[in-house]
Chain A
Amino acid sequence: MRLLRGLARLWVVPVALAAWEVLTRLAQAPYFPPPSTIAARSHELWFSGPAARLFLSDEAVRHLLPSLWRLVVGWAGACLAGVLVGIAVGRSRRLAEYVNPLIHFGRSIPPPTLLPIFLVLFGVGTPTQLAAIVFGVLWPVLLNSVDGARDVDRQYLETADVFRLSRGQRLWRIILPAAAPKVFAGLRLSVSLALVMMIISELVGSTEGIGYRMLQDALDIPAMWTAIVLIGVLGFVLNAAFVRAERWLLAWHYGARKST
């Protein structure tokens, strides 16, 4: 029942799709193909492969998989680094005072400005993409982890002292869980940033990937649109999956909030 009502709320999506179809057919604008054309081209380009490969075409294997691989590796690496450094900085006031100006400067640099430098350092290819993704993802994760670790409720820490928890236990049982909501907020922000950095780095310096493939289609506008739609769907799915995971992993946190 709830599902039905949820679906009913989405009536505007098919209506918008239909309107898009009609308008583009009427306007005949060269750069705006109708959605049905995009869907057909999508199928042909990306999903016409054998069933054993989840219908992925050769093109998809060549361009989608490397993109996704770099996205995941770069994101995970930057998150790990950001959380580790962030917790350390958040727990030590003194360390925070030393590094704060550097952190604020680093996060103020628009990440794409570093791309040309990564290109001369690492050349065209995966290391440049990974560096770009890591630099883009690092800052929101780092800043949120600092915030989360710094603002741990005093009572929790005092309770930990009373129970004589070791430093390791204090970190695992008190500080990390208390910082988790903030940390997750940072992780969620960083997912979309990772996607942005993945695409821009492929547009500028790559020989494969969705972003690279997009620029190859100067004369095949529907193919370019398939990449836009694919990236949009990827962004939507990653974000939705993350919100789900967050709700599930932090259920205890929301529960505790409700009961107080």
Chain B
Amino acid sequence: MRARTILRGAIGVAGFVLVMEALGRTGVIDPYTVPLASDVLAKTVVLAGDAAFLAKVGDTLSAAVIGLLLAIAIAVPAGVVLGTLPRVETAVRPLVEFLRPIPSVALIPLALFVFTGGAQAEIALIVFTSSWPLLINTWYGVRDVDPLAKETMRSFGFGPAAIVARVLLPSAAPFILTGVRIAASVTLIVAVSVELVAGGDSGIGTFLTDQGTAGVNRRDVMLAAVAWTGMIGLLVNVALVAAERRLFRRHHARTGQEAA
């Protein structure tokens, strides 16, 4: 059963590659316009050992990780405050609803002015964008905590700090981790966007731009780099979904919710 699923998936992928290759070889798609699938695959393998490319991947990933950690440090405490203090929540909610729909890419030119370095602007925008899903998820997670658990802690004489640490955060943890997963997928999008606009010489975005300039025009290398970016995105997502399942199996069993 499981083996058959894997086999069919492999056939699907192989079929796609073969069809693309055949279209290129027979000239239906001009191999100059879109490189042959075999060329792209070969370049994908080559790129894995290309120090220059790996350094650029490192730039993007380190910006993404730093940005995500900062966002967690800011948004999770803010979410706890919003989820526990109804007065603050009613006051702040309209602001959040106005600010959240602003697409972060609209702030790229501003960020490039305000921050002198492209890398700083990149991290700042990653923080801005990934804070929203973290904030919302923490907020809703904390709000949904069983009031009885809070009351119990209180009647045993625990202070607010202990309640947050022992009840609110643990029971909101599955929601927060979902927020982290959503935020993680957004970080890569923002990081690459800033790199494309800002130029400079760091990150996957500038690698792609360089390979695409008129004198170079290595479309096979560009597609290979895109393939690696997709693999990274896929791996991060798979790892975080697995972490959610593993850490919070009890939670998913209780609520019957699927990790979508």
Contact = CB atoms under 8 A, between A and B. Distances in A.
Interface of A: 9-10, 12-13, 16, 31, 94, 97-102, 104-106, 108-117, 119-121, 147, 192, 195-196, 199-200, 203-204, 211, 214-215, 217, 221, 224-225, 227-228, 231-232, 235-236, 238-239
Q: Which of B5, B105, B192, B205 has the most CB of A within 10 A?
A: B105
A117 to B, nearest CB: 5
Interface of A is mostly: helix
Interface of B is mostly: helix
Interface string B198-242: 000000110011011000010100110110011111100100000
B28 interface: no
Contacts of A221: 113
B167 interface: no
Nearest to A194: B103
Contact of A97 (B8, B106, B109, B223): B8
Interface string B108-128: 111001100000000000000
Q: Which of A31, A101, A116 has the most CB of B within 10 A?
A: A116
B95 A102 contact: no
Interface residues of B, number: 61
Given A102-B12, A236-B101, A109 B230 contact: yes
A12 B91 contact: yes
Contacts of B147: none
Given A113-B229, A115-B196, A203-B197, A235 B101 contact: yes
A31 to B, nearest CB: 5
A232 B101 contact: yes
Contact of A113 (B95, B99, B225): B225
Contacts of B110: 31, 224-225, 228
A195 B102 CA distance: 10
A31 B233 CA distance: 34
A129 to B, nearest CB: 13
> Can you list the 3 inter-chain pairs with the closest CB atoms, starting with the nearest?
A235-B101, A108-B233, A98-B12
B165 interface: no
